[in-house]
Amino acid sequence: MPNRTDRADSPPDTDSPPGSATSPEPRRGLAAAVVAFAFWITMAGTTAPTPLYPVYGKEFGFSPITVTVIFAVYALGVVVGLLAFGRLSDQIGRRPVLVAATLLSVCAALVFLAADDVAVLLVARVISGFSAALVTGAATASLTELIPQGRRVRPATVALFANMGGLACGTLLAGILADTAPSPLRTPWLVMLALAAIGLVGAASSRETAAHRSGFSFRFQPLHIPSEIRPDFLRSAMAAGAGFAVLGVLTAVTGLFLGTVLHARSHSLTGLVVFTAFACTALGQLLVRRIKPGAALSVACLGLILAAGLIALAMALTSLVPLLIGAAVNGLATGIALGHGIGGITTRSAPQHRGASVSTFFAILYSMLAVPAIGVGVLIRATSLRPAGEIFSALVALLALTVLLSLARSRKGPEAPA
């Protein structure tokens, strides 16, 4: 932390973290806003390429399967980053990790600006994946330490809207800029670069909130499925993973569907579909609090089946309306399953393994974000976009139905010992 000269009327404990009792309320609120913005813009940068993929494909001459690979590389980068650096902010502090995450976001925007072939795009996506992995844990922990638990707006809610709000707004902002501003492959990244630079300055000027730091030691976070809630953990991961698979495919190929099937060349429209999906995912995580815990996963599975049917209908009828509704329903269902799963881990699993359990949960989800997208790319190459979308929708519905049937069987009798 840089040295500074304190005013004579400053509180005595000027070096205490902003989240401590001695930190003034306005300063604490400003610090939380800075962290939330850094979180938001870092996540926004990860979805900004979505409406630009058709332009990149035309510019660089690559196929739909290449688009899905480019997207999947980002998701796999997040998984590796979570497993390798998920505990980094506990070891060295929140502030340096936030600085690193926003710096990587700046670097990703610069690489996208310089991109002239697929290899450079892949590098940019890997950098984006690491930025998302670093910022998620550090910013969430920092907001928890900055915002008192008794406040009307809870830190988890702020973190949720910074995270999902960034994912939603990045694609919409990039799509609008690609449609309305000159140079669709440069203007969105110049704006993202400027916003990420602001986030970097804010993160660098923020104060440390972690009271205890263990010191850096590198090792991969071991995967851990909590034995005490294993059946519910696996069902939640399967249901939320099915929803993440749809989010991944929507992010990777919505532009292709709108451009080649519906002949709609609007980048803003592509951004709107993906914005709807991620915004509703955030809403679903809030909605889960209004649903009885025993019913939440069933509601999520029914929603996933309905969403899969709507997306298949959009493919069959070549219609935008069922696609947009399906994206919204899938987002709500995914958010409910995600909220249920995280809630179970944080309240019912052993405290000493919660960090590893959460990392494992998200590693499963981001793997489901990546691998099915590549599978859809292979299907598109083997058949075409419409039948590939219909087959994928059927598989998502089947996975959700499997979870639903497993829930029904578990309620008929005691579950087998884990």
Tokens of 5: 């000269």
Q: Where are the domains of the chain?
A: 25-219, 222-411
- pLDDT at residue 7, as a whole number: 35
- The answer to which of 18-27, 111-120, 144-153, 296-305 has the lowest mean pLDDT is 18-27
Assess if CATH 1.20.1250.20 describes domain 222-411.
yes
21: tokens are: 């009792």
Q: Do domains 25-219 and 222-411 have the same CATH topology?
A: yes
Please state, rounded to an integer, the average pLDDT across all residues of the chain.
87
More confident residue, 331 or 157: 331
Q: Which residues contact 124 (CB under 8 A, 6 or more apart)?
A: 49, 108, 111, 112, 115
Contact 99, 200 (CB under 8 A): yes
pLDDT range class, residue 143, cuts 50, 70, 90:
confident
CA distance 368 to 186: 30
Q: Is pLDDT of 89 > 70? A: yes
Mean pLDDT on 107-120: 95
Question: What's the pTM?
Answer: 0.85
Taking only the tens place, the pLDDT of each residue in 221-255 is 777 888 888 999 999 999 999 999 999 999 989 99
pLDDT at 14 exceeding the cut of 80: no
Question: Residue 22 — very low, low, confident or very high, per pLDDT cuts 50/70/90?
Answer: very low
How many Cβ atoms from other residues are within 10 Å of residue 61's Cβ? 10
Q: Over 70: is that where the pLDDT of 417 sits?
A: no
CATH of 25-219, one of 1.20.1250.20, 3.30.1360.20, 1.10.3720.10, 2.40.110.10: 1.20.1250.20
Q: What's the pLDDT score for residue 165?
A: 93
pLDDT at 235: 94
Q: What is the pLDDT of residue 8?
A: 34
